[in-house]
Structure 1
Amino acid sequence: MSAQLPACQLLERFYGQSAHLWPVAPPADGWLQAHSTAMISGDVALREQWASSGKSAASPFDAPFVEQAGQVVLFWPKAHQLGIWWLTWLCNVLPENTPLDVVGEHQGGIKRVPKILSELGMRCDKLDNARRCSLFATRTIAMEPPVNAWQTFEALDLKLVSHPGVFGHGKVDEGTRLMLESIEASLSKKPLNVLDVGCGDGIISAWLAQRGHQVTAVDVSAFAVEACRRTLAANQLSGRVLESDVYSALENEQFDLIISNPPFHQEREITYGPSHRLISEAPPHLRAGGRLVIVANGFLPYPDHLQRVFQDFEVLADNRRFKVYRAAK
């Protein structure tokens, strides 16, 4: 486990070693996990980590919903619209007047929380600040369900459904566009068994399903999984959509094509863990002659890793900002 995070250091300072917390959208932090009774997260990998230590862990889309256990603490996300969604959601699933604390780093937007709480009609008391973090206290109120967070927009002749909790909310990433353009001419006309890793709002899955391919879409985020399902439904397309930490939910399944615009940020930190697993563990999940296609920012060091795993790969497209790579089993 990594070193204790600043926001969790603030919680330890305020609550002490007798803390019994019920964190919502928490980070990976050993102290927090040890001093929490249960958690709520959209991240399936984090939920599995907590569950493996005997802690109750649930998604915001689970039903029936897990009961509150301990002091509720919302970790304020980088995307403030997602923070507003969490506040509204908590007001809907918890009894009115339930104590709710909100914590976060100053550079992550926590200073906006008093204004946001005021606009929602919720009280706000400052409890503590340290380590360039702040901790606020509020209470849940009666509020309408957070249905307006889902946004529908059109791109690439498709209706896309997005949510503030999904990467690239409300727009199609430039790299994704480049990747789809680069494979369209060479894509097999016969139906392929395709795996879309890190499906986001489902643009890649819907684009491929629209062309007759059999699609399995996976994402570590419950928000992305729900968005992808809604996108497929909005276009009258079928596909299987699963919560999965890269290949974790797929066992020994194999595909003709694995395609991805893999993430390389976790909040504000650059991380290559998921993308390296995507590449390293691809061969067992590819049928003979199967291909891996990924798009990445041009500066990312993926060619070396592709070379180690596949020995041979090609650059399908390069617009100076993004590169599209294809490797064959």
Structure 2
Amino acid sequence: MSAQAPACQLLERQNDTYTALWAIGPPTDSWLIDQSMGVISGDLDALREWQAKGKHALTPFDLAAGEPLSKEIVLFWPKAHQLGIWWLKWLCEQLPEGTPIEIVGEHQGGIKRVPKMLDELGMRWDKRDNARRCSLFATQTVALDSTSDSAWQQFETLGLTLNSHPGVFGHGKVDEGTLLLLESLESSLPKKPLKVLDMGCGDGIISAWLAQRGHHVTAVDVSAFAVEACKRSLAANGLAGRVLCSDVFSALEGEQFDWIVSNPPFHKERDISYGPSQRLISQAPEHLNTGGRLVIVANGFLPYPDHLQRAFQDFQTLADNRRFKVYGAIKSGR
């Protein structure tokens, strides 16, 4: 099977050099999965694809410092450049000094900026190949002055302390849509403690806000970075909550909630993807108690009203500031 992703097609030209490849933050590509020993990724979907083929699959938070990896490390450069720098620093911490690392990525994804970043980190580099509008660089781990933990950003908002990581939605700031959602909840959420699901928790602002008001919170996200950020945000505020890595409801089989609250994503890297949001809406009734409520916020142009109408037969627009709309739908007892 040939590689499909452009960055993997570039690697395929070097195929004879890989015998025990570890892919770091890669796209899902069958050729790469077959070629590699394992993957380290923050993306649950990627981890599942590797696991399905019997390969090693770890998040960076599963790997203990010094745990042995093969010396065939390929980092797939992410869209979020600060996340790419985090990966480089993390690899330098995990691997012995002088361990070879290759870095591959698409030109439109910013790979051309990598040499400058390597220079700033004091990491010598060579350009190995260039094709498919992608580039491949070779470097080696070094001892760095700053740690990967320095990428975490802590900030205050709405009386809460939040912890944010590069690559997590809204890194270092509060999204306008989330603020509109919380403003809407302030006037509509019952005072009595509810069992609430925060779907797509990001840095944990919704979870922390709900937990601060006494609700029993379960938070899920498909990103291991978001799960870690949400855990840190809850801990920073002395709040309790269960935080899980889940592809929409995949980790919540059979569970039901009083409310489901979400600022659902509609991007995956540079692509628009409505799939997770559609599954959230269509499967929400199965995970709500009778009389339970789904509340979501979305850009005004997104086609969620049709999905809400199909799933719940009725819905309300709870807030509208022209850019974002907050929708609410109740599970009836019929």
TM-score class, shorter-chain normalisation, is over 0.9
Choose 78-87 or 46-55, whichever is displaced more: 46-55
Instruction: Give the alignment's TM-score, normalised by structure 2.
Output: 0.95
CA offsets 1:118-176 (integer angstroms, 9 cap, x no match): 11010110001111111000011123431211111111111111011311100000100
Q: Does 1:55 align with 2:58?
A: no
What is residue 237 of structure 2 aligned with on the other side? 235
| 1:260 partner letter | S
* 1-structure distance, mates of 2:329, 2:124: 55
* 2-structure distance, mates of 1:114, 1:165: 20
Relative to 1, partners in 2 of residues 1:17 and 1:118: Cα closer, same or farther, differing over 3 Å?
closer
Percent sequence identity over matched residues? 71
| 2:7 partner letter | A
Asked if the contact 1:36/1:70 (under 8 Å) is kept, the reply is: no
| 1:49 partner letter | E
Instruction: Name which of 288, 308, 321 aligns with 1:286.
Output: 288
* 1-structure distance, mates of 2:203, 2:308: 26
Indicate the RMSD between aligned Cα atoms, in angstroms: 1.7
Choose 29-38 or 16-25, whichever is displaced more: 16-25
Relative to 1, partners in 2 of residues 1:278 and 1:16: Cα closer, same or farther, differing over 3 Å?
farther
Structure 2 gap ranges (5+):
none
Structure 1 SS opposite 2:252: coil
Relative to 1, partners in 2 of residues 1:24 and 1:18: Cα closer, same or farther, differing over 3 Å?
closer
Shift of 1:16: 5.2
What is residue 91 of structure 1 aligned with on the other side? 92
* 2-structure distance, mates of 1:2, 1:137: 23
What is residue 260 of structure 1 aligned with on the other side? 262
* 1-structure distance, mates of 2:131, 2:98: 27
Moved over 3 A (4+): 16-20, 63-67
What is residue 75 of structure 1 aligned with on the other side? 76
CA offsets 1:68-91 (integer angstroms, 9 cap, x no match): 136211010111111110000001
Choose 195-204 or 18-27, whichever is displaced more: 18-27
* 1-structure distance, mates of 2:28, 2:302: 24
Structure 1 SS opposite 2:247: coil
Shift of 1:236: 1.1
- For these two proteins, the number of residue pairs brought into alignment is 329
* 2-structure distance, mates of 1:71, 1:17: 9
Q: Does 1:106 align with 2:120?
A: no
Relative to 1, partners in 2 of residues 1:316 and 1:38: Cα closer, same or farther, differing over 3 Å?
same
* 1-structure distance, mates of 2:323, 2:270: 20
Instruction: Name which of 296, 299, 305 aligns with 1:297.
Output: 299
| 1:31 partner letter | W
Asked if the contact 1:37/1:70 (under 8 Å) is kept, the reply is: no
What is residue 204 of structure 1 aligned with on the other side? 206
What is residue 127 of structure 1 aligned with on the other side? 128
Relative to 1, partners in 2 of residues 1:186 and 1:200: Cα closer, same or farther, differing over 3 Å?
same
Asked if the contact 1:163/1:223 (under 8 Å) is kept, the reply is: yes
CA offsets 1:52-81 (integer angstroms, 9 cap, x no match): 110100000014466313621101011111
* 2-structure distance, mates of 1:52, 1:287: 33
Structure 1 SS opposite 2:14: helix
Structure 2 SS opposite 1:281: helix
Asked if the contact 1:41/1:47 (under 8 Å) is kept, the reply is: yes
* 1-structure distance, mates of 2:142, 2:96: 8
Choose 124-133 or 135-144, whichever is displaced more: 135-144
